[in-house]
Structure 1
Amino acid sequence: MEPTTLTTGRLLLRPLESSDVDAVLAACQDPEIPRWTTVPSPYTRAHAVDFVEQVSPHGWRDDTFYNFGVFTQESGTLVSSMGLVRLAQLAAPGRQAELGYWTAKEQRGRGYTAEAGRAVCDWAFRSLGVERLEWVAEAGNVGSRAVALSIGFVMEGTVRAKIVQDGTRRDAWSGALLPSDWGRESATAYLPYDAGQPSA
């Protein structure tokens, strides 16, 4: 896919560029980011260069990972890295993807990540035809969960042994956002389970 740029009231979401390496490197020194994500630790400049100049652009080109750098419109400060991952089921009939993100320590608590997340989800529904967006985080990641809830994700439960972190399987929280959660139509009809409905 051709890389895309999105805007919100306060933010610019665009593909990362070589000039962003230092900002990505600085953000990923926060131990909370590798604690809860797949970001390597310790995080070196080589990691930042690879992510910005190889992983992210190749993801767009190969339709495997649509990643945005999220920046403030006012100052151009890096807020977060956010994107759609697990795109293998993006084609019909799956039409699913997962929203993933991390946020720079200094930018947390301002509503930026949820604002950016709503823009990415809107783009996924409107332009990509996604019919189910998933969010998954290690159980206990209350910050990520708060962002997902603010975006509109509905929590679906705890998935046992879903995530491998530091060589250990850990439980994950999961949630989903459907077009209908935002009052939108979906190309595929959705029949929710009704526990009170008689069996066929």
Structure 2
Amino acid sequence: MPSKIPDVVPPGALARTQQPRIPAPGGLLIRPWQAADAPAVYEAFQDPVIQRWHARGAESVDETRDWIEGWRAAWAEERDAHWAIADATTDAVVGRISLRLIVLGDGQAEVAYWTMPSARGRGIAPRALTTLSDWAFADVGLHRLELTHATANEASCRVALKTGFAPEGTKRRAVLHEEGWLDMHLHARVREDGPTGSR
């Protein structure tokens, strides 16, 4: 039975193009991951803050290299899109940002991010998130981006609010972590919200 509603974004919109390199304000570059980034990812996942909010840990650089291979493959499969946030001058990894759970037909995805411990306090996550969100709306044509974080993760909540992701409620006992089931705040931006003023 044919759908009465056309796809918001047609299949192939990502896969038929190369994953882009996106400049961000303040000397940042949002770029595809490369194998040489594996030590930086491993280092990030030794950080207690990142460990607290993630369901998996990294036991070796080889393991994170495998993650990167999977992240790169996800672009062609149009299910997720993962980027390193890098210093535009040195190319050093300062964070990670992703579009997860992409559903092109519905024009939706979920954003996720983290910042290297040594790079925190410099506004990297808000600048990268604003830049990637604007690109997802303007260049890809997505309609809605969601952002979820544990209710206890106040730093992530500040990033969401600063970048125009409006709070929409609490998803009770939504994610299982080591400490048990966590309540999650749900935030979202839609294309009609327009660009944020945080850049």
Q: Which residue of 1 aligns with 2:8?
A: none
Once the two structures are superposed, the pairs formed by residues 1-200 of structure 1 within 5 Å of their partners are: 1=15, 2-9=18-25, 10-38=27-55, 40-52=56-68, 54-87=69-102, 89-91=103-105, 94-166=106-178, 168-182=180-194
Contact 1:16 1:68 in 2 (8 A): yes
Percent of aligned positions with the same letter in both sequences? 29
SS of corresponding position for 1:82 = strand
Separation in 2 of the partners of 1:13 and 1:110? 16
Cα deviation per residue 1:68-119 (whole Å; 9 max; x = unaligned)?
10001132221111110011x221xx21110011111111111111111111
Q: Taking structure 2 as the reference length, what is the TM-score of the superposition?
A: 0.84
Matched length: 179
Contact 2:134 2:195 in 1 (8 A): no
Contact 2:23 2:30 in 1 (8 A): yes
CA-CA distance at 1:176 after TM superposition: 0.4
RMSD of Structure 2 on Structure 1 (CA): 1.7
What stretches of structure 1 move > 4 A for 4+ residues in a row?
none
Q: Taking structure 1 as the reference length, what is the TM-score of the superposition?
A: 0.84
Separation in 1 of the partners of 2:149 and 2:31? 24
CA-CA distance at 1:12 after TM superposition: 0.7
Amino acid at match of 1:90: L
Q: Cα gap change, 1:154/1:106 in structure 2, threshold over 3 Å: closer, same or farther?
A: same
CA-CA distance at 1:178 after TM superposition: 1.2
Contact 1:28 1:104 in 2 (8 A): no
Cα deviation per residue 1:26-46 (whole Å; 9 max; x = unaligned)?
1221011121123x2354223
CA-CA distance at 1:167 after TM superposition: 7.2
Separation in 2 of the partners of 1:172 and 1:183? 25
Contact 2:58 2:64 in 1 (8 A): no
Q: Name which structure has the greater RCO, CA cutoff 8 Å, separation 6+.
A: 2
Separation in 1 of the partners of 2:190 and 2:19? 24
Q: Cα gap change, 1:12/1:42 in structure 2, threshold over 3 Å: closer, same or farther?
A: closer
Q: Cα gap change, 1:183/1:105 in structure 2, threshold over 3 Å: closer, same or farther?
A: closer
- Once the two structures are overlaid, the 10-residue window that deviates more, 41-50 or 64-73, is 41-50
